[in-house]
Structure 1
């Protein structure tokens, strides 16, 4: 069964996504020093960076 995933990003981010062969979480992208053209609401993205998330069994943060 194929899983389809959609992601909206700025066209300037495509080369980095293809070079990395993946989409990184913002926290990991920042930690790795990868540049990103943000198209989301900055205040919401910042809140997500600092919000703790409880994980279900076999869940992951990364």
Structure 2
């Protein structure tokens, strides 16, 4: 498997080890990981990721 090109979230402060990273996965998939635990990779598709992002945005501040 070729090396993935991971991109960090624009909200990643100072390039630390607490960032969300995404990369293209096989087919039309998307791979995601947390920079603190790069060995744990989750894959999804665009529709599912979009639904997650919209749900988080709709929940407003105070989610975390």
The alignment's TM-score, normalised by the length of structure 1, stands at: 0.33
Which structure features the higher share of helix residues?
1
Structure with higher RCO (Cα < 8 A, 6+ apart): 1
Structure 1 or 2, whichever has the larger Rg, is 1
In the superposition, the TM-score normalised over structure 2's length comes to: 0.33
